Chain A
Amino acid sequence: MAASTTNGFKVIGTRPIRHDGVDKVTGRAKYGADYAFPGMLHGKVLRSPHAHANIKSIKIDKALALPGVKAIVTADDLPKLPDKMEAAGEQAINLNHLSMNILARGKALYDGHAIAAVAATSSHIADEALRLIEVEYEPLAPVMTVEDGMKPGATILLPTLRNKEDGPDKETNVAAHLQFKRGDVAEGFKQADYVVEREFKTAMVHQGYIEPHNAIGIYNADGHATIYCSTQGSFVVRSLSAAVLGISEGKIKVVPAEIGGGFGGKTTVYLEPLAVLLSQKTGHPVKMTMTRAEVLRATGPTSGSTIRCKMGATKDGKLVAAQCWLAYEAGGFPGSPVGAGAMTILAPYNIPNILVDAYDVVVNRPKTAAYRAPGASNAAMASETVLDELAEKCGIDPLDIRLINGSHEGTPQTVGPPFKRIGLIETIEAIKNGEHYKSRLTGPNRGRGVASGFWFNVGLQSSATINIHTDGTVSLVIGSVDIGGTRAAQAMIAAEVLGVDVNDVRPTIADTDSIGHTDVTGGSRTCFATGWAVYEAAQDCIRQLKERAAKLWEKKPDEVVFENGMLSPAQPGGDLKPMSIKQIAPRLARTGGPIVGRATINARAVGPAFATICVDVEVDPDTGKTQILRATIAQDVGKAIHPAYVEGQMQGGTAQGIGWALNEEYFYDDRGILRNTGLLDYRMPTCLDLPPIETLIVEVPTPGHPLGIRGVGEVSIVPPPAAVANAIYHAVGVRMTELPMSPSRLLKAILKKRAAGETQAAAAD
């Protein structure tokens, strides 16, 4: 259901079968764990059973003596790296921390922290060997929450960690403080008729991709290494693995396998350097795969957080001031997405006076990694529920208060620069005018909630190559791994520009030696940036095709035009017949050889994404259990290339957001040990937990992009938790300020409200 027209596109906006589809429905598609090589060994990782402990000694003799065990490595086998932020690929990263996350050096910083890795002739033997490694730990007090980490005298995780404000002499768990300020909040709140202030807590949650991490390392005696793995970014695996191993980047080739989900969690390395190191030690290919428990304990979830949010509005619903305080769990090493949280929390609204403070705090939990619009869902849970409360106080419809204050072209962002053309207002209007919001919700304990969300999206570097075959079909080579159907979208862009059938384009995802640098499939950048490179590469083909046609027709290239897939002379007349690519393709050899179109870009002009969601719930007031009855999401996607997969992104993010809202959480015990290390107790939504998620595609083209594309991958996860919280309030009258809003928590709130009501009633008697 597109809100704008298809602008005369022939391929873009249609719904072709994805090019990798048959492989994926027949089991033929090869994911990382599906590869095997002759002589291959199996690697496993020993992990810390303590949340926080000094490692006194590691004895490997008994394990090495087990028949079938070929090598064991510890942090001593990795080079020590500089303790400072560096650019590695597109990421800013402290390589010392990265290395210490891959194998603990001296200290275990979370339950599941890697201590040693084993290579053996079978995974069972490797597992048994882990039981024989003797590690002497000196347990330390675990620091599990931002409050514990920030309090004076807190146990210190990283003795060398310093922040700018406290200076070089003070040990701290606070890795960074950011502040964003506009106007004067104190003055602003004075103008407010209503002020709402609440404190929120959100639990650490995991991306929950179904495919565990995997890597195969093959180290050659000539010093070159090949890595097969399922990653969101083959180039980031190359640069980070090279850095961790102290190998030159060019000596590593990364072959991206198909990837079974990532959502940001597969944008860094865990097993990859270890597989290469073990291969180097043994001379054999080494395959490593994580168990689900390892994925949950030791890969990067996203931060739990504490957020305080205060907003003020005048009677007519105009926001006049907002102040927010955010502290996010970074995990064992610095680097939570609190900066993004701080920059997104107020982004949907034009508020003259703002003050946002944000703190990145290390705690004894796994080092967080990106998760779909990292940091933004936590933040929106706070601001979007406070806004709902303000709307109620003002007596204004919750969508109308968003329309009154919503950001549009020219509104300054939290960080300062004004927005260019954006589509927030259009998403709010799409929900407001949609059948769902207009429908009546009846029945006891049912409620409807809305919320909006913002995400930046990113641009970055991409490369694309197009080869024209002699039969007129084309192969498209890109470096962006396909995590959700992007191959098809890229092929559609090439087909659109070249005027060929989409099935005559064969998209291939190349290894790091076979395509120019391409940044991660993440940040909602793949269709936007790689799609842009594909568009330019196709234009490059057309330039060359015109030259060839000119040669055949004995004209100048600028006397040839390319329209609707046909080359024709600019001046009609004569006996020169227009030629399609299929017709000219067999003649390329005699007009100068093959045509290869190519393009590389470092994309600017990124179009931010907005979404608005409407959710209906029914709460069982006796058990606190919430059922999602209906959900509709409207999202500005710029231009939907393959609408079915755009809807898929919108539905998928909404589903994850609902999981985050209701049941997903990391549950640690008093000793900092993760108790829910499996998918039985890490409760992601099943098919029975979700209604059909309805989608409203809004298309406000991104200025500057040749096709108007805006990233679509992330923003859909931002508003759902807040919308569910608002719906719960409207169902049973309690304002939930903690995620997840699990039955235990919600029932407690309901009973508390009931008790307060009875007390009040008693007092009234």
Chain B
Amino acid sequence: MKLEGAGLTRVRPFVLMATVVIPALLRKLTNGQDRVTASGRNLGQVVADLERQFPGLREHLVEDDELKPSVAVSIDGEMGMAGVLEPVRENSEIFFIPAIGGG
């Protein structure tokens, strides 16, 4: 599945800047930074921008143009349900967290 509209393959310039909190074990890819900024109108675009800044990060988050099944995302305190299409606002705070099931 190609997600042209999601901007995974085309990166256009954005002014919107979101804060992304990097999972502890991936901070080696961001020079130890735990919070970085990235641009994008949705999660897919933000990940593409992260990959541009920190090569190698994308493969930990996205696979086959979709958020990895084992990864969940929280944007501004709400669990994202739309995967790479999850909208991102200016100054959004994005957390990548392990997916949780329940009993």
A243-262 CB mask vs B (1 if < 8 Å, else 0) is 00000000000000000001
B75-103 CB mask vs A (1 if < 8 Å, else 0) is 00111110000000000010101111111
Q: Are A180 and B24 in contact (CB under 8 A)?
A: yes
Of A309-317, A453-461, A587-595, A738-746, the one touching chain B: A453-461
B80 / chain A contacts, CB cutoff of 8 Å: 604
> B100's contact among A164, A181, A371, A458, by CB below 8 Å, is which?
A458
A604 / chain B contacts, CB cutoff of 8 Å: 78-81
Q: Nearest chain-A residue to B83 (Cβ)?
A: A87
Q: A732 to nearest B CB, angstroms?
A: 32
B34 / chain A contacts, CB cutoff of 8 Å: 181
Q: Are A264 and B98 in contact (CB under 8 A)?
A: no
The answer to the question of A177 belonging to the interface, with a C-beta cut-off of 8 Å to chain B, is yes
A63-95 CB mask vs B (1 if < 8 Å, else 0) is 000000000000000000000011100111100
Q: Which of B21, B70, B95, B101 has the most CB of A within 10 A?
A: B101
Q: Are A343 and B98 in contact (CB under 8 A)?
A: yes
Q: Are A374 and B103 in contact (CB under 8 A)?
A: yes
Q: Are B99 and A92 in contact (CB under 8 A)?
A: yes
> B101's contact among A178, A179, A343, A522, by CB below 8 Å, is which?
A522
B24 / chain A contacts, CB cutoff of 8 Å: 179-181
The answer to the question of B25 belonging to the interface, with a C-beta cut-off of 8 Å to chain A, is yes
Q: Are B70 and A85 in contact (CB under 8 A)?
A: yes
Q: Are A522 and B102 in contact (CB under 8 A)?
A: yes
Of A137-145, A415-423, A571-579, the one touching chain B: A415-423
Q: Are A418 and B77 in contact (CB under 8 A)?
A: yes
Q: Nearest chain-A residue to B69 (Cβ)?
A: A92
Q: How many residues of B contact A (CB 8 A)?
A: 25
B29-65 CB mask vs A (1 if < 8 Å, else 0) is 0000010000000000000000000000000100000
> Inter-chain contact count A-B, CB under 8 Å?
98
Q: Are A370 and B102 in contact (CB under 8 A)?
A: yes
Q: Are A178 and B70 in contact (CB under 8 A)?
A: no
A606 to B103, CA, bound (A): 15
Q: Are A523 and B81 in contact (CB under 8 A)?
A: no
B21 / chain A contacts, CB cutoff of 8 Å: 416
> A714's contact among B23, B79, B103, by CB below 8 Å, is which?
B103
B66 / chain A contacts, CB cutoff of 8 Å: 87
A207 / chain B contacts, CB cutoff of 8 Å: 103
A295 to B78, CA, bound (A): 37
Q: Are B102 and A523 in contact (CB under 8 A)?
A: yes
Q: Are B95 and A523 in contact (CB under 8 A)?
A: no
Q: Are B81 and A459 in contact (CB under 8 A)?
A: yes
The answer to the question of B74 belonging to the interface, with a C-beta cut-off of 8 Å to chain A, is yes
The answer to the question of A97 belonging to the interface, with a C-beta cut-off of 8 Å to chain B, is no
Q: Are A714 and B69 in contact (CB under 8 A)?
A: no
B98 / chain A contacts, CB cutoff of 8 Å: 178, 339, 343, 415
A455 to B100, CA, bound (A): 10
A337 / chain B contacts, CB cutoff of 8 Å: 101
A415 to B25, CA, bound (A): 12
The answer to the question of A729 belonging to the interface, with a C-beta cut-off of 8 Å to chain B, is no
The answer to the question of A372 belonging to the interface, with a C-beta cut-off of 8 Å to chain B, is yes
The answer to the question of A524 belonging to the interface, with a C-beta cut-off of 8 Å to chain B, is yes
Q: Are A85 and B100 in contact (CB under 8 A)?
A: no
Q: Are A420 and B77 in contact (CB under 8 A)?
A: yes
8 Å CB contacts to B: which residues of A308-365?
337, 339-340, 343
A605 to B24, CA, bound (A): 25
The answer to the question of A474 belonging to the interface, with a C-beta cut-off of 8 Å to chain B, is no
A91 to B78, CA, bound (A): 19
Q: Are A86 and B77 in contact (CB under 8 A)?
A: no
Q: Are A416 and B95 in contact (CB under 8 A)?
A: yes
A372 / chain B contacts, CB cutoff of 8 Å: 103
For the complex with contacts A164-B60, A339-B100, 16 further pairs of A-B residues with Cβ separation under 8 Å are A86-B69, A90-B101, A93-B69, A177-B25, A180-B24, A265-B103, A267-B101, A340-B100, A370-B101, A370-B103, A417-B74, A417-B93, A523-B102, A523-B103, A604-B79, A714-B102
A–B Cβ pairs within 8 angstroms, 28 of them: A87-B66, A92-B70, A179-B23, A180-B24, A181-B34, A207-B103, A262-B103, A263-B103, A264-B101, A264-B102, A267-B101, A267-B103, A337-B101, A343-B97, A370-B101, A372-B103, A374-B103, A415-B74, A416-B97, A417-B93, A418-B77, A458-B101, A524-B102, A525-B102, A602-B81, A604-B79, A606-B79, A711-B102
Q: Which 10 A-B pairs have the closest CB atoms?
A: A523-B102, A264-B103, A92-B69, A179-B24, A372-B103, A370-B103, A339-B98, A87-B69, A181-B24, A415-B97
